[in-house]
Amino acid sequence: MKETAIYIHIPFCDHKCIYCDFYSIISYENVSNYLSALKKEIANYAAQFAHERKIISIFFGGGTPSLMEAGYIGEIIEEVKRNFSVNEDAEITIETNPGTVTKQKLSEFKNAGINRVSVGIQSFDEADLKFLTRIHDSESAKQTICDAEEVGFENLSLDLIFNLPSQTKEKWKKNLEEAIKLPIKHISAYSLILEHGTILNKMVLDCKVKMQDINHDADLYEFTIEFLTSNGFEQYEVSNFAKSDFQCIHNNAYWHYKDSLSFGTSAHSFANGKRWWNLSSTRFYIDAMNKKGNAVAGEETLTQDQMLDEYVMLALRSSGLDLGKLGQMFGNSWYEINSKLIDEYVIQKLIFLKDNKLVLAAKGFAVCDELLLHFK
């Protein structure tokens, strides 16, 4: 059975944050029609892909999926289970924004089948939250985590963003200190990235905001690794840290190059060496699903060399490149070609070899994009 992850995109939002480049809309007029289209897409793809597959995770992202009623999310989970073989212990995550859920609603999500909650806190600093145009404050963020634990969620994650304009190391350290006080098992810590087309990008172009330099960003990132790993969190991917046994199964499906099927607007899928992506517009997505049974906007079939490059990149950015598995899947030529460069990186303590696996050191993670560019 081929282990496969499923992603569900819920595009509805009550507010567009200045840094966000994910497809989302501040409108609810198509909520019911969107649910019907999602169910149709799930059923249609199951006919093609459900055979000999085991679903190991279902992830609701957005947008703001926690704006939906628990019954809405529950219907989607049931549709997946009707059409696919879902592991009994499958990880089922919902992204949640503080201010969109009560303790009662969290309990309803749990009853609907959700077993992991990822909370988009981003910062515990009120000035930073205001800059990021988040709708919550620090106390409501903490309360959301505590409420989730009280209703029975053990697998709790939160997101934080560092390298905000004018953010000092001390200010970022306070964020991390607040985070580890909470009953969480997983932290995603992302550097603020300037994405084309976002409100933040325009603010920078208009000289209303000045981004910090890459050296400060690297300093904060290395501090993040040091702080979290010394406080019981293991780094298992470039931006993700988890307590023992709480690595995100869905994240690892991507990083370990497993197949993933994604449903909804702008969703990207990868299966059997092929990648395809959906239309972004909610209206166009619904129309396409009703007229032709899919909403594919584009697709590509990867060459063996492309898959090798992606496999190496993903493995090194996460838990490491298993040279045995690499050889089984792609042969030994990659290692033979890059062996001298790898030896140099080992000497520089950017990478190390452990149990026949190449693993990035902390300082290697800080410059991983640059390192990867030099491999042939």
SS3 content of the chain, % helix, strand, coil (to 5): 45, 25, 30
What pLDDT score does 328 carry?
A: 92
Are 54 and 85 in contact, with CB atoms under 8 Å apart?
A: yes
User: What is the DSSP-derived secondary structure letter of residue 66?
Assistant: G
What pLDDT score does 24 carry?
A: 61
Lowest-confidence region among 102-116, 129-143, 348-362: 129-143
Read off the tokens for 140: 């409501």
CA dist., res. 204 & res. 320, Å (int): 36
What pLDDT score does 19 carry?
A: 56
When the pLDDT of each residue in the chain is averaged and rounded to a whole number, the result is 91
Helical segments of 113-233, H only: 126-131, 138-150, 169-181, 199-205, 214-229
pLDDT at position 224 over 90: yes
Query: What are the pLDDT digits (tens) for 22-69?
Result: 656 666 779 999 999 999 999 999 999 999 899 999 999 988 999 999
What pLDDT score does 212 carry?
A: 72
pLDDT at position 14 over 80: no
Q: Report the CATH architecture of 2-255.
A: Alpha-Beta Barrel (3.20)
Read off the tokens for 237: 């991917």
Q: Which residues on neighbouring strands pair with residue 351, listed in sequence order?
A: 360
With CA atoms as reference, report the closest residue to 28 among 75, 63, 80, 78.
Answer: 63
Query: What are the pLDDT digits (tens) for 339-365?
Result: 999 999 999 999 998 889 999 988 888
Q: Report the CATH architecture of 306-373.
A: Orthogonal Bundle (1.10)
What pLDDT score does 199 carry?
A: 63
CA dist., res. 344 & res. 324, Å (int): 21
The mean pLDDT value for 311-340 works out to 92
The set of residues, in sequence order, having a beta carbon less than 8 Å from that of 338 and lying 6+ positions away, is 375, 376
With CA atoms as reference, report the closest residue to 20 among 266, 226, 370, 242.
Answer: 266
Domain boundaries, the chain: 2-255, 306-373
Name the percent of the chain lying above pLDDT 70.
93
Give the position of tokens 């993670």.
365
Angle, in degrees to the nearest 10, between helices 323-330 and 304-316: 170
Are 200 and 209 in contact, with CB atoms under 8 Å apart?
A: yes
Are 157 and 186 in contact, with CB atoms under 8 Å apart?
A: yes
10 Å Cβ neighbour count for 118? Answer: 24
The dihedral over CA atoms of 283, 285, 289, 295, expressed in degrees to the nearest 10, equals 160
The mean pLDDT value for 227-254 works out to 96
Angle, in degrees to the nearest 10, between helices 31-49 and 70-83: 20
